[in-house]
Structure formats: C-alpha cells, structure tokens
Structure 1
Amino acid sequence: MMTRRTATTGLLAAAAAAGVSPSLAVAGGKVDLSPARWPAGEYDSFMTAQGVDRTRAGTAKGTRGAVTVAYNGLAARAGLEALKQGGNAIDAVMTGALAQVALTMGAPISYFGIMSLVYHEAKTGKTYTMNAEWNTVRGETDPMSIPGQIDFSSTEALQGKGAPSGRTALVGGFMKGVEVAHRRFGRLPFASLFDPAIYIAEQGMPVTPMLAGIFRFRDKDIRRLPETRTTLVKPDGSAYAEGDLFRQPVLARKLRAVARDGADYMYGGAWGQKLVAAIQADGGKMTLDDLKAYEVIWADPLEAPLRKGYSIRTSPGPNFGGVSLIEAQNLADAAGLCGGEHWTKSSAALKKAIEITQLFGISMFPKEVQAAIYPGIDFGEDVRVTKTHAAALWKQIEEGKTFTKWKRTTPMHSDDIVAIDSEGNIAAITHSINCVNWGKTAIFVDGISIGDPASFQQAMIARVAPGDRLPAPTETGILFKDDVPVLGFASMGAGLHQRTFQGLLNYTCYGMDVEEAINTADFYLPMVDPMTGETTLTVPEDRFDKKVLEGTGLAWRVVPLEEARLGGEGKWVAISRDPATGLLHAASHNRNNSAAVAF
C-alpha cells in the first residue's frame, strides 16, 4: 500500500530538535575519504580502468560491505571507502554518486540533475523511498511551446537542430537529495562525502575514448557560451582529445562550498542566483523562488508480491517506473514465462517478453487512448500492480491488441549505484541529467552542468501544474524473499524497463545469481522508425541464436557493442545478500567501465 507523501521539513523535525546532525555525532572523529589516502596505486589502477569497457559484469563478494555501479568503477571504489571508514549504505551511494558526476564532466549526470532512492533500514525493517526528480518551472505556463531540440531518430538528430533555449531547463533535486538523505540516514560527516569528487576535479583525469567522443559530439554546442567554453575547451581553443588531462578547478571550489554550506548554497544561495541569471539570459523562466521552493518527497514504498515467496518494494507515484516494473512482472506470470523456456532459447518466450515490456509506455498515454487500445482495462496505479489486472490485460494482448506497430519479417543518460553495508542496510539510487551529454544548451554555472530535459518532455510537463513534480520512469528497488531483503537493484538507460524485467526474472524465476542474471543475453528497447512508426526488435551482437530471433516473426536488428549506449540498451546492477551467512554478491553492468567492489 502506498501512503501519503510527506515533505522534507516534517521528516527532519527530530534531527533539528536535537540541534546536531546525527552523522556528526556518530562519526566520532576525523574522516577523510580522499583517494590521496587510499593504498598506493589503487587510485591510479581504478582511474586507468575508466578507459576500459567490459564485456562481462564486474563482480565482487564480501561480508562487510559492497558497492556496484553501471558506469565509472572508480566511483564504486569511492563508495566502498565510505563503508571502510565506518559509513553506512547511504554514505556509500552518495559518495559514489558525487564522484560519478565529476568523472563524467557532468555530461550524462549532473549536480543539478535528478535522483531516485530506495533505502531499506535493517534495524527497523522499514523501507523508504525518496523522490528528488524534476520540478517544472512555475512561470512556464505554455510548455507545448518549449523548443524541441532532439528526436532520438539518429545520432545526428540527438545533437539537436533547434535553437538553444533556457526554457528547456528544469529544477533538479540531486544535491538537495544528497543532503536530505544523508541528514536523515547517513553516518559520516556530510563534507566527507565530497572528498573523492573534489580530489578527482582538482587532480584531473585522463580523457578516455568515451569522454573524447563526448567532446567531439558536442564541440559546436560547448563553444556557444563563454563559461562553457572556458570549462570544456582547452585554453588554446582546441578540443580535448584522448590522452589529455582534464581538470575542473572551478567545480572543485563549488563542491567545497556545498560541502561547507549545504545544498542551500545551490537552492537559493550564491550559486542559485548565478544559475537563474544564466537561464534567464537564454530566455528561460526559472526564478530563485523555484529553487527555494524545491523539496524532496519521501514516501512509503510501493509493495507487491511477485512469485515463489518473492516480493518487491519500489518507488511509488509520481514515479511511474515502479508501477510499470510490477505490472511487467505480473504479466510475465500471466503469460507463462516463469517456468517455461528462457527467452534466449525460445522464440515464443522472446516474443512474449518483448510484447510485455512494450507496455512501459502506456503510462504516458491519456486515459481515453488507453481505453481505446485495451477496452475495459483499468490503468489506475492501484489496479496496475495486481495480478488480476495482469491476467485481464494479457488476455487482450494474446488476442492481438497492442499499440506497437511491429515491423514484420516475411511468412534516455544516467548512472546507478547500489550499496549494502555490514548491518544489512540497502541503498539503491538512479540519477540523471535526463538529456544527451550536457544538452544542446550546454549551460555551465561554476563548473556545474545544466541540461535541457524539457526539450523532449513538453507533453509530460503539460500534464502537471507549473512548479509540480514531473513523473519519472526510474526502476529502483529492493527484492524480498519471505519478507527478508535479499537484493538491491537499480536500472538506467533507454532500455531500463526491458533490462529490469529481464534481470528480476532471471533471478526470481530462473534461479540465476546476480552475475549470471546480468551476463545472460538481453534484448534492448526496440527501435521505432520515425517516418513509418514501425518497431524493430534490437539485440546485442553475438548473443542471441539467429533461429530464435527469426522464429519471432518480427524484424530484428543486431546492435554492435560500440553503438549500445545510443542503441537502446538498458543497465541493471544489483547486490544480493544471503540472510543466513551475510555473504554479499555484487555485480555491475556487463558493458562500459562499470565495476563491483566488496570487502
């Protein structure tokens, strides 16, 4: 059952009444998470690995703590340092997330981006969710006229054709979420969480092939504004290239200011004033009041039984990813996927699986459209998580009802981090800038990137009141077995729904461990032809038997691994915990520069 959401202020009353941050009281001494204090050579080793893409999941086992990420293995190591110095799962994921942004130059994730958190507290047995997603701008009363800049139909289109506009910016809650989650559940001093990110920004990092590609991709856009040009272009005017050292000294100073003064420095303070001025200079309508009014949303989790004694706790509305996640798992049971052949071996099972995961988009359709496609089916949030709903909906799908125009054969960037500590606390977050590599506006304010997430979400923004929270598709959660937490997970990427669907089924239905669940062949978000509307199944190269694909009767396309990031892949990372032994098994993404660490 989902209960009433509460604002930040009420939930922190106890901490405020005490007059001191609980984290400061517990830390009891000097904490320094800086990589300068790590064992000799360890930082350099992880930094070198930033330029290496995996072909199999990173994996690690331990009993005292574990961290896993979808991208940026060095951030996982930063999170593990928090655990080693007495921090808990919240300290670990927040430390890692802060480091992830510095490691990516704020391109796919940002300190002014968004965050979704699911946290299980071992001592109380309670699970909490925190929504620090986008707020719309209160002065934006005509969202359908916000300039559109990308259409996702090609790499060229992703770069954007329209004129940059400050109206494409939204109010992100990432840094507010870091502070509030830490204040409520963290253990280490708040400022210490910033140590690895500040070190990375000050020391600099080698430009990897992936980062060099981002610079090339946005070269024209990052030269538009003076501050962005100073931040992302070399002093001699040339572009950063593979092998160069990229430093972020201005960002390091701003992170020190936030570590000292708290998130208010951004949400209404000196940085916030500069942000508003930059956005308004580009025609945006954001004001300082938009920043001051931002509150994270705490809520009880959305909870539902799955199968074989498993149940799940995930984010409730306004996040629609949790509802979609549960609906898809129930549809898998209604379709008979659980107990049958795996979709990597059966054409029929694969066809069922891809049809089920296409339902993810139904949340964004108006009610009258939903009713026209699936007559008599109620898509209310409370109903969609029930097995009765899944059975009725699957019956219509079997009869051929679908909103997907499949192309027949003949006869959105983010990052994840999950941590479990020695006490069994589990924290899982997904955070994002929700646009493609800084966005076409490419606005920077004191080293912090400001994306253009409104440039493709005009219809969604129009469905909420100005200044309200924008619904989010993230799928992050905790899996339980017989009411005992056994796994924390987070997902990201364009195909996050498809990947989460497959990862959970692999674990709960087919008995795979987390490493096997991730390494097993996965299908991506299907491709849609923008001209015809026809949809094509997409899969990674060399993973699926050609006969299985042909047997679906659907057109399919193999995506080379170097194209996976923009080819519809999803990322799903997880850590399992054996309740009997306390053994932790962490697994990262099986592509990109991910990593899993434990001790």
Structure 2
Amino acid sequence: MKRTLAVAVSGALVLTPMVGMAQEAAIYSGMDRIHPAWAQNGMVVAQEEIAAEVGRDILKAGGNAADAGVAVAFALAVTLPRAGNLGGGGFMMVHDAETGETKAIDYREMAPMSADRDMFLDDAGDADSEKSRFTGLATGVPGTVAGMQMVLDQYGTMSLSEVLQPAIGLARDGIVVTADLADSLKGLESRLKKWPSSEAIFYKEGGAFFEPGDRLIQSDLAATLQRIADAGPDGFYKGETAQHIVDAVQASGGRITMEDMAGYKALSRDPVSGTYRGYEIVSMPPPSSGGIHIVQILNTLEEYPIGWLGHNSSDTIHLMAEAMKRAYADRSEYLGDPDFYDVPQAELMSKDYAADIRKGISLSRATPSEDIKPADLAPYESDQTTHFSIVDKDGNAVSNTYTINFSYGSGMVADGTGVLMNNEMDDFAAKPGVMNAYGLIGGDANAVEPGKRPLSSMSPTLVMKDGKVFMVTGSPGGSRIITTVIQMIMNVIDHGMNVAEATVAPRIHHQWMPEVLRVEEGLSADTIAALEAKGHVVEVMSTMGSAQSIVVDEANGLLLGGADTRQTSSAARGY
C-alpha cells in the first residue's frame, strides 16, 4: 500500500502518493529546502484549488491531460472569475507522448470584422484608453469555447459534455467564497458595479459584499455552460447565448455581430522551439510574442556562465536585464498576428543574432533604453491572466494560459449569460508608438484590423529533454509573463533548484520601456546597490507573476508540482 505525505502548498494541504522511505530520503536529503508537491500518476497545478481538483479527478477517472485541461479551463470560469473565462481566449500547448508531437492551440480573441485602425482614437487623433478598455469596443470575439472543443477533438478521450459537468455543478450549486475572491470583488467594486448585470451576480442584494464563507451561485453561467454541453460550440457562438453577447456588446458601443460570433475559428499552429544548455524549449508562436522572445533571451544568455555567476547576483541580473531590454525593443517592432504580418521569426531566434546582441552588452554598465533600438531585420498581458500545467500518467502534457485581460475583463457581464466579457482589444496598438495598459509599445505589426488577433505575452511553455517532457510552465502577469517563464527555466537548469524553489525565488523584470529594472522584495540591499552602480534604475515592487509548473523526475518516477504562493488560492493536485 502506498504511503501518503502531507505537503503544504499555498496554504492548502496536499495528499499525494509517495514511494518508499529510502527513495524519499535520496530525493530530498536537506530539510532546509522547499519541497514540491509530488505524485506518480498525474499532476495538475493551477491558480485555484477547486479547479486543480477537478482536473485531478478527471485524470483519476481515466481522462488524459487534454481532457483534464479542458475541464480545468471551464471550472476556472466559475471559481476564478477575474481570469478564468468563457468570454476571453488564450493559448494551449499540447504534447502527445505517443507521437512525440507538440502543437500550439491558438484560441486568442479576434477583432470584429467592422474593426478599423483608428477605432480607439479621439477627435484629436490621440489614443483613448477608455474606449479600448472599458466599453463594448474593448471586447474581441471570444475564443475559449472553440479552443477547448479543438483540444478535445484532436487530443481528448472524453466528450465536451462530460468534461463540462464539474463546472456546471459548481456554477449551479455555488462555490464557497474564499478570502482571495472576496478581496478581489471588493477591490474591483467600481469596475463591476458600473454594469447592473455584473453587480447582480458578484454582490449581494443592495450591493453588499460577499464575505469569506458565503456561497456564490452563478445560475446564468450554469445555463450557458449547459447549452454548450448540449449543443457544443454552437451553444455559445450561435443562438441564445451569442445573441445575448452581441446585444450587450453593441449596447455599450461595441461592434461584435452574430456573424462575428459564428465565424470564430480556433487554430492549430506549429510551436516555436530553440535550445538552451542541452534542453529544447517549445513555446507559443505568434500572435504570442512569448515563445520567440523566450528563445531569443535564452540564446543571448547561453554563452554567459550564469550558474557560476550565481542566482540573483548583481552580475546575473545585469545580464538578464540587458538581454530582456533588447528583446522587448524587438517586440515593439516585429511582433503581430502572423496571418496579417510576416514576423521575422527565424531571424529573431537565431543563435547568430544572439551573438550580435551580446556584442552590444557591456558586462559592467547598463545600456540606456533610449540607446536601444529594434534590430535592423529583414522585413518579414494582464496580471489577471491565469495559467495551469498538467501531466498525465502516459507523459501527455498541457500548458495553458488564458485571460480576459484586466481583472474581470471590462467588468461587463453579458446579461442573461453570466459571462464576463474581455477587453483584449487594448492589446492592439491603438496608435503606433503609444503604450498600452502594461507599458508595452506596439507598431504597425500590431495595428487593429478586421479579423486580426491582438499580440499577446502569454507564454505556455514546455521544456523537453531527449524528446520527453521535462518541465511544463507558464504564468500570468501581462508584460512580465515572458520574464517569469524565463526565470523558471533558468532557476531549474542554471541554478539547480527544484520546482518549488524555482517558483518562490524573487523575480526581476525589464521591458526596455520604461527605463526601470523591476525587482521583487527579497534581493539584498547590496545587490540593489551594485545594480544601481552599473547604471540600472531599480524599483522594488510587489509580486510578479503566478507560475504554475511541473517538473518530470523521470529517474524516480515522480511528477513534481510547484504552485506559486504569490496567489493564495494556487494548488498542486496529483494522485
């Protein structure tokens, strides 16, 4: 009979199957280390505990990683409404262990067909952030439902109706409000109460707050989920639900039509890949900027002795920041929807280009951002995104990041659906050279066009070793997603951390503009002083990202899960 070990993960107690005492001692001999959760047959790591348990139960019932991924995505729409969604979109990396193939499922939102380049400009020709963030114009055609159906069609073993049942039950019967959910609803009161349809769901009668321990019932959302279970994606993109969404968006100034809804298509794309110290990095291609720039930054850093320089030493952070700045400068110029723009993917990810980048990096002085320009190449997200990672008993893997952009999206629930609508149109460049809500600058490659998908930083990523999955990772965090994923990879590969240690380690971020090196609390005053002496403008800020990751310990037959403690509801669940 297998023993179980209680492991503390993000304030919750995880019971996961274990191996013998001797093997346990061999794996973790130092009691001063932070231990990951572990399991033998399947692991789900997500930003919300109930949804993680839904995924684990699907695996235990015989479903594979794809089945569990779809079930988790729909469950998060109920249990983590600020980021989990039906009214948004995202990206999923799926690895099929039997064929060895990895595919990137693109279910990013699309601009309606009546969208135009200047739709977010005011009468003076300036970008109007109110239009692109808090009106119906902010909403792109949602992709989540279509994306989940594509995943099941191509990789799943269960029906859409089967994997929807947990989410339907949670919405119909209600969830117990956690302190995290209660706090987020209080913090976003002004955004949500702007819309009577939203206030009616997320606040008590008279506008009173839900408190921890209360029960939140989402009857309209349960009915919407049931329509999807009964009719498939047509239950969302056509008929009653679609009409409610179109009516709500248009009533608030938006342009989505029934034809836009019915015409939405998810896409299967080839992932981008590169190598780093003998590992293969497999990540999301455009319209994500994540995969390309993860590979670009790691290429730049590969020739430096990062492990020898030390984790979060001033020299290591300096080199990371310099590589990050140059990648984000390139992002501003060259990244967009590849169906509309010829992204110079091979050039950006080449080892030769990384060597050219290194020539411009001083080991002792920071290069001012104003002196860094996008490369002369041949033509060619929100903090409230959420990520989950899954590996099943057969080695299949899912890495999924999806969002409605801001916390609770635009704040608008489409009346009669329970569905919070995204404000992803703000991820387009409203005007070339103007920063979006995350300080990211975009150009013509990411200008608004009908049917186009806005550029994203979402970066669901797999790390492979000898053709097998070694690591599954990703994070929310808007512009900081890319750098969070990079540090997860480097912490494990360069610094020898286990997945839990890699997850809790303090993070840094530089995105070229503005000229600020952001660091989490935890760096020593001496390190910060050394960085400032090199010319960096250092700002200590609150937490960055919420990585949910799995490392496959093939030698010991274990799946090691790291749930990010930066979000109190995060959990790793295995069996």
**Cα distance in structure 2, aligned partners of 1:256 and 1:48:** 33
For 1:138, the equivalent position in structure 2 comes to: 113
Distance 1:169 1:384, change over 3 A: same
Query: How many Å apart are 1:313 and its aligned residue?
Result: 1.5
Is 1:365 paired with 2:293? no
Give the counterpart letter for 1:349 in structure 2: T
For 2:150, the equivalent position in structure 1 comes to: 180
Is 1:355 paired with 2:322? yes
**Cα distance in structure 2, aligned partners of 1:570 and 1:75:** 19
For 2:71, the equivalent position in structure 1 comes to: 95
Query: How many Å apart are 1:580 and its aligned residue?
Result: 4.5
For 1:113, the equivalent position in structure 2 comes to: 88
Is 1:474 paired with 2:458? yes
For 1:571, the equivalent position in structure 2 comes to: 546
**Cα distance in structure 1, aligned partners of 2:82 and 2:314:** 38
**Cα distance in structure 2, aligned partners of 1:590 and 1:278:** 37
SS of the counterpart of 1:492? Answer: coil
Of the three residues 369, 373, 376, the one matched with 1:403 is 369
**Cα distance in structure 1, aligned partners of 2:282 and 2:132:** 41
Of the three residues 530, 540, 545, the one matched with 1:551 is 530
8 Å contact from structure 1 (residues 405, 535) kept in 2: no
1:423-470 deviations in Å (ceiling 9; x for gaps):
111111111111233325565551010122224632458625311222
Give the counterpart letter for 1:68 in structure 2: V
SS of the counterpart of 1:585? Answer: strand
8 Å contact from structure 2 (residues 509, 518) kept in 1: yes
Structure 2 counterparts to residues 214-225 of structure 1, below 5 A: 214-225=184-195
Is 1:65 paired with 2:46? no
Structure 2 counterparts to residues 200-215 of structure 1, below 5 A: 200-215=170-185
Is 1:341 paired with 2:309? yes
8 Å contact from structure 2 (residues 401, 475) kept in 1: yes
Structure 2 counterparts to residues 135-284 of structure 1, below 5 A: 135-145=110-120, 164-284=134-254
Distance 1:247 1:145, change over 3 A: same
Is 1:506 paired with 2:482? no
1:298-335 deviations in Å (ceiling 9; x for gaps):
1222122221x21111122232211011001111114x
Structure 2 counterparts to residues 253-332 of structure 1, below 5 A: 253-307=223-277, 309-332=278-301
Structure 2 counterparts to residues 519-558 of structure 1, below 5 A: 519-524=504-509, 535-541=515-521, 543-553=522-532, 554-558=536-540
8 Å contact from structure 2 (residues 280, 464) kept in 1: yes
Distance 1:115 1:145, change over 3 A: closer
For 2:101, the equivalent position in structure 1 comes to: 126
Distance 1:333 1:144, change over 3 A: farther
Deviates more, 1:325-334 or 1:505-514: 505-514
Query: How many Å apart are 1:354 and its aligned residue?
Result: 2.0
1:533-591 deviations in Å (ceiling 9; x for gaps):
753333333x21211111011343333xxx53xxxx02222212234453211111132
8 Å contact from structure 1 (residues 225, 443) kept in 2: no
8 Å contact from structure 1 (residues 111, 449) kept in 2: yes
Deviates more, 1:251-260 or 1:574-583: 574-583
SS of the counterpart of 1:366? Answer: helix
Query: How many Å apart are 1:60 and its aligned residue?
Result: 1.9
1:479-511 deviations in Å (ceiling 9; x for gaps):
112333212222221321221111111122222
Query: How many Å apart are 1:169 and its aligned residue?
Result: 0.7
Query: How many Å apart are 1:143 and its aligned residue?
Result: 3.8
SS of the counterpart of 1:102? Answer: helix
8 Å contact from structure 2 (residues 385, 476) kept in 1: yes
Query: How many Å apart are 1:235 and its aligned residue?
Result: 2.3
**Cα distance in structure 2, aligned partners of 1:404 and 1:49:** 46
Query: How many Å apart are 1:187 and its aligned residue?
Result: 1.1
Query: How many Å apart are 1:341 and its aligned residue?
Result: 1.7
SS of the counterpart of 1:552? Answer: helix
For 1:449, the equivalent position in structure 2 comes to: 420
Deviates more, 1:514-523 or 1:125-134: 514-523
8 Å contact from structure 1 (residues 502, 522) kept in 2: yes
Distance 1:188 1:297, change over 3 A: same
Of the three residues 39, 54, 57, the one matched with 1:78 is 54
8 Å contact from structure 2 (residues 36, 498) kept in 1: no
**Cα distance in structure 2, aligned partners of 1:506 and 1:165:** 41
**Cα distance in structure 2, aligned partners of 1:525 and 1:453:** 23
**Cα distance in structure 1, aligned partners of 2:572 and 2:494:** 24
Give the counterpart letter for 1:93 in structure 2: G
Give the counterpart letter for 1:131 in structure 2: D
8 Å contact from structure 1 (residues 146, 455) kept in 2: no
For 2:481, the equivalent position in structure 1 comes to: 496
Distance 1:147 1:191, change over 3 A: farther
Query: How many Å apart are 1:123 and its aligned residue?
Result: 0.8
Give the counterpart letter for 2:318 in structure 1: K
**Cα distance in structure 2, aligned partners of 1:239 and 1:277:** 28
8 Å contact from structure 1 (residues 507, 517) kept in 2: yes
Aligned length: 511
What's the % identity of the aligned pairs? Answer: 24
Deviates more, 1:222-231 or 1:454-463: 454-463
8 Å contact from structure 1 (residues 91, 188) kept in 2: yes
Query: How many Å apart are 1:46 and its aligned residue?
Result: 11
8 Å contact from structure 2 (residues 9, 565) kept in 1: no
8 Å contact from structure 1 (residues 79, 96) kept in 2: yes
Give the counterpart letter for 2:508 in structure 1: F
**Cα distance in structure 1, aligned partners of 2:416 and 2:309:** 52
Structure 1 stretches of 4+ with a deviation exceeding 6 A read: 45-48, 160-163
Query: How many Å apart are 1:297 and its aligned residue?
Result: 1.1
**Cα distance in structure 1, aligned partners of 2:199 and 2:526:** 51
**How large is the RMSD of aligned CA atoms in angstroms?**
3.2
Distance 1:164 1:63, change over 3 A: closer
8 Å contact from structure 1 (residues 443, 451) kept in 2: no
Distance 1:286 1:337, change over 3 A: farther
Is 1:387 paired with 2:351? yes
For 1:28, the equivalent position in structure 2 comes to: none
**Cα distance in structure 2, aligned partners of 1:288 and 1:265:** 13
